[in-house]
Amino acid sequence: MRALFTSLFAFILSGFLGGVVAQQLAVATGATEEYIVVFMATALVAILVTAFFFVAQFRSDPVRAADRTMWRLLAIFGLALVVLAGWTFAEPAANGSTARDLSIIAGLILPGAATILVQWLFVRWRLKRAAIKFGRDGANA
C-alpha cells in the first residue's frame, strides 16, 4: 500500500511540475495551438514514468532500481532530444520554422525530464525512509 501512495503522490507532484515547466515554456516562446501536443505529451509522460517507478519499488533493491530507472529514462529523453533536433536541422528551413520547431522540441523534452527528476526525488526519499532497519544487520528487535 505504501508503494501505491508513493506513486500516487509522485504522479501528482511530477505532473504538476511538468505542467508548470510546459506552461512557462509556452509563455516564454509565445506558443499557440500547437503546444496542445506538448501538454498532452506531458500528461502521457507523467503516467508512463509513474508506472516505471511503481515497478521499481518492488525490486529486491528498490533504491538502486529507482536510480537505474531514472538514469535510463533520462538517457531515453536525451536521445530523443538529439534525434528530434537533428531531424529539425536536417530539413530545409521554410520561412523560419526551425525556431518554432525547436520550441516544440524543448516543450516535449524539458517537462518530461522535470517529471522524471521529481518522480525520482520523491520515490527515492520515500524508499530511504522505509529502508531504516533496527538491530544488528537489520534484525528486528
CA separation, residue 114 to residues 19, 92, 139 (Å): 10, 31, 38
Residue 44: predicted pLDDT: 94
**Is residue 104 scored above 90 in pLDDT?**
no
**Is residue 140 scored above 60 in pLDDT?**
no
pLDDT in tens, 29-56: 887 787 888 899 999 999 999 999 999 9
- pLDDT bucket at 118, cuts 50 / 70 / 90: very high
Q: What is the sign, positive or negative, of the torsion defined by CA atoms of 34, 36, 41, 42? A: positive
Contact, 63 vs 54, CB < 8 A?
Answer: no
Residue 93: predicted pLDDT: 63
And the C-alpha cell for 130?
522505509
Contact, 100 vs 91, CB < 8 A?
Answer: no
Q: Map residue 69 onto helix, strand or coil.
A: helix
Element (H, E) at 107: helix 97-130
**Is residue 134 scored above 80 in pLDDT?**
no
pLDDT in tens, 66-94: 999 999 999 998 998 888 888 877 776 66
Q: Per-domain residue ranges for the chain?
A: 2-130
Residue 60: predicted pLDDT: 86
Which one has a higher pLDDT value, 38 or 98? Answer: 38
